[in-house]
Amino acid sequence: MNLECDVLVAGSGAAGLAAAVTAAHRGARVIVVEKADVFGGTSCFSAGLVWIPGSRQARAAGIVDDAEAALNYLRGEGAPFLDEAKAEAYVREAAEIFAWFEDHTHVSYHLSPLWPDYHQGVAGASPGGRSLGANPFDARRLGPRLRQLRPPLATTTIFGGMMVGREDLLHYYGMSKSWRSRAVVVRRVLRYVKDRLSGYPRSTRLSNGNALIGMLALSAFERGVDLRLNTGVRQLLLDGERVSGALVQGPDGPQEIRARAGVVLACGGFPANPALRARYYAHVGAGKNHRTAAPAGNTGDGLQLAQAAGAALKDAQHHPAAWTPMSLVPQPDGSEVPFPHYNDRGKAGYIAVDRRGRRFISEALSYHDFVPAMIDACADDAEVCSWIVCDSRGIREFGIGRVPPWPSPIGSFIRSGYLKQGGSLEELAQACGIDAAGLRQTVARLNAGAGRGIDEEFSKGADVYERFNGSRGHGPNPCVAPIEAAPFYAVKVVPGDIGSFVGLRTDAHARALDAQSRPIEGLYVAGNDAASFMGGTYPGAGITLGPAMVFGHIAARHAVLRLSTA
């Protein structure tokens, strides 16, 4: 039996659910189709941060910001590939739209006042106040739907299902120093134990992107949004040149869904499509290695569907994807699960070296900047990789990659081969396949200035963003400390991504555009299916989820407006 609705959404990540909630709140009948057997998309793997210039949280904290400063920053970052119209729409509307979500849905965020924009040397960069973090969410409110929520990456949980939110990291790092931090961690563990004893498959205290999706999903369910899992879009339906619905393939076979107001594509881009990665990622096209953290289902369905309906692709970007270094954590079944390295590289007493034992960048810079530098450093190597190195003091305080800090045991990580250990730098180099003389010279160069807080090679800790990534309370430079306390440790990282930036052309209303920049009536695009309006740059924390939610909202708002004018 064929179905009818007002708005059909393909994809159940932050962009898709934001569009669904917005349309349903305005009285539209909404169907969301998701080809996976769980909902939440890549957003469930994310940190849950959003980049919102001039948010009411920032204003309440007395942080002065304005749209023109944010726009100038985006211009400095994205030119010549910046989409000026969408950038203007974003900085003008993002704060108001996000306030709407907080006022009318279960979405709840807090300010991260010290989180700076990533490139402080660019005009308009903020020293802090544009990034917001998701508050924890009680997944018990989802009822049986919790089992359909995509879990976070297994490598970002502990004890087989306990989430560690960004708001908890300081407490985990501080367990060796603070009774208060130990008490917080104990409460988190006891909550998790209670959840498991109560029959829940994992922790019900959701953090990061899982919390955001839980909030949006509950808001959608309360508004009668019809979420259909295991249902993929096979073809967009056209009435003349207008998109009027889609042919989907679900558990009961093929089915037509007609959408009076329009179709929103939010399928997550193409990071899991090997052919498209080879086409747009230069190092992959050259035969080099790469690992995405996105779900396996993010294969570019939205791009292919829209192009078949006449939409155009925008592939001129500074970078085709959001780069992130990944380590690969061995699992009991023999597989490897990626772990994104956001936090460890910038800490004092940590460096990253190539196989020659040489550093290639300030490790405290953005993950998006780290990967291209690693690729360049390995241009003549068969494999692109580097090693994050620390000593026993560093690993005790902060861990490294998936390896937790004290008092958690680390023996299993050494036995699996994920964590390399050496009683001396030479032994560590041999275990990793690093040139021992090169590593010894690099560490000696670092140690020579470390006591004074000076990194003579890359000026690690040079600005407020780098220092934000460092070791809180460590002086004189929170990003620099000697590496000298044996044993020594290292984890191998490879190039990866958390989503693609190449995508479909869209306008400020999130409408898909054809090759002549004409809107395709009835077709909207949000999230990573849409080309990065920031020109394939990564200006700050939350520049993926923020636009996903804002343009998901804008798409639904514009589509539903058609119902009242039809």
Instruction: Determine the pLDDT at residue 62.
Output: 95
pLDDT of residue 179: 74
Q: 472 in a domain, yes or no?
A: yes
Q: What is the arithmetic mean of pLDDT over 228-246?
A: 97
**Residue at 505 is within a domain:** yes
How many Cα atoms occupy the beta-carbon half-sphere of 473 within 13 Å? 5
Domains held by the chain: number: 2
What is the separation, in whole angstroms, between the first and last Cα of the chain? Answer: 26
Residue 113 confidence (pLDDT) above 90: no
Q: Tell me how far CA of residue 390 lies from CA of 397, 456, 467, in angstroms.
A: 11, 18, 18
Cα within 13 Å of Cα(139), Cβ side: 28
Domain that holds residue 24: 3-46+211-320+501-565
What is Dmax (Cα atoms) for the chain? 74
- pLDDT(364) > 70: yes
Element (H, E) at 275: helix 274-280
pLDDT, tens digit, for every residue of 280-290?
Answer: 999 999 999 99
Closest by alpha carbon to 77, among 63, 65, 64, 91?
A: 91
Query: Do 443 and 328 have their domain in common?
Result: yes
d(CA 480, CA 484): 13
Tokens 């699996």 belong to which residue?
A: 416
pLDDT at 448 over 70: yes
Same domain? For 382 and 510 the reply is no
Residue 22 belongs to domain with CATH number: 3.50.50.60
365 and 427 housed in the same domain: yes
Q: Is residue 134 part of a domain?
A: no
Place 496 in a pLDDT band, splitting at 50, 70 and 90.
very high
330 with 264, same domain? no
- Cα–Cα distance measured from residue 221 to residue 225, given in angstroms and rounded to the nearest whole number: 5
pLDDT at 509 over 70: yes
Pairing of strands 131-134, 419-422: unpaired
Say if residue 442's pLDDT is above 80: yes
What are the residues facing 236 on neighbouring strands? 246
| Nearest-angstrom CA–CA distance, 50 and 24 | 23
Does the pLDDT at position 566 exceed 70? no
> How much is the pLDDT for 546?
98
pLDDT number for residue 199: 84
Residue after which a domain boundary falls, among 469, 497, 525: 497
Q: How confident is the model at residue 450 (pLDDT cuts 50, 70, 90)?
A: very high
**pLDDT at position 520 over 60:** yes
Average pLDDT estimate for 343-353: 96
CA dihedral in degrees (457, 458, 464, 467; nearest 10)? Answer: -70
pTM: 0.95
Q: Do 286 and 383 fall within a single domain?
A: no
Alpha-carbon separation of residue 535 from 61, 76, 83 (angstroms): 30, 11, 7
Task: Identify the band that residue 94 occupies on the pLDDT scale cut at 50, 70 and 90.
Answer: very high
334 and 480 both lie in a single domain: yes
Q: Which of 468, 497, 526 corresponds to the end of one domain?
A: 497
**541 domain-assigned:** yes
Is a pLDDT exceeding 70 seen at residue 171? Answer: no
Report pLDDT digits (tens) over 466-480.
Answer: 999 999 889 999 999
Share of the chain above pLDDT 90, in %: 86
Per-residue pLDDT band at 533 (split at 50, 70, 90): very high
Percentage of residues in the chain with pLDDT exceeding 70?
Answer: 98
List the CATH number of the domain containing 429.
3.90.700.10
Does one domain contain both 326 and 400? yes
77 Cβ contact partners less than 8 Å away, ≥ 6 residues apart: 119, 122, 534, 535, 537, 539
Asked if 474 and 511 sit in the same domain, the reply is no
The whole-angstrom separation of Cα 144 and Cα 146 is 5
Q: What is the mean pLDDT of the chain?
A: 95
Average pLDDT value for residue range 25-30: 97
In a domain, 123, yes or no: no
pLDDT of residue 565: 66
Q: Which of 74-83, 165-174, 317-326, 391-400 has the lowest mean pLDDT?
A: 165-174
Query: Residue 69: inside a domain, yes or no?
Result: no
Both 257 and 406 in one domain: the answer is: no
Burial class (CB in 10 A: 0-12, 13-18, 19+), 454: middle
Q: Which tokens hold the place of 541?
A: 């924390």
**Cα separation, 34 vs 249, whole angstroms:** 10
Looking at 497, 522, 542, which one is the last position of a domain?
497
Say if residue 388 is in the same domain as residue 415.
yes
Whether 379 and 424 share a structural domain: yes
The mean pLDDT value for 459-471 works out to: 96
pLDDT in tens, 57-85: 999 999 999 899 999 999 999 999 999 99
Amino acid symbol at 345: R
pLDDT band at 157 (very low <50, low <70, confident <90, very high): confident
Q: Give the pLDDT band of residue 112 (cuts 50, 70, 90).
A: confident
| Separation of alpha carbons 8 and 260, rounded Å | 9
407 confidence band (pLDDT: 50, 70, 90): confident
Residue 194 lies in a domain: no
Average pLDDT of span 472-501: 97
In three-state secondary structure terms, 133 is: strand
527 three-class SS: helix
- Whether residue 332 is found in the same domain as residue 441: yes
pLDDT of res. 178: 74
If 0-12 CB within 10 Å is exposed, 13-18 middle and 19+ buried, where does residue 39 land? buried
Does 409 fall in a domain? yes
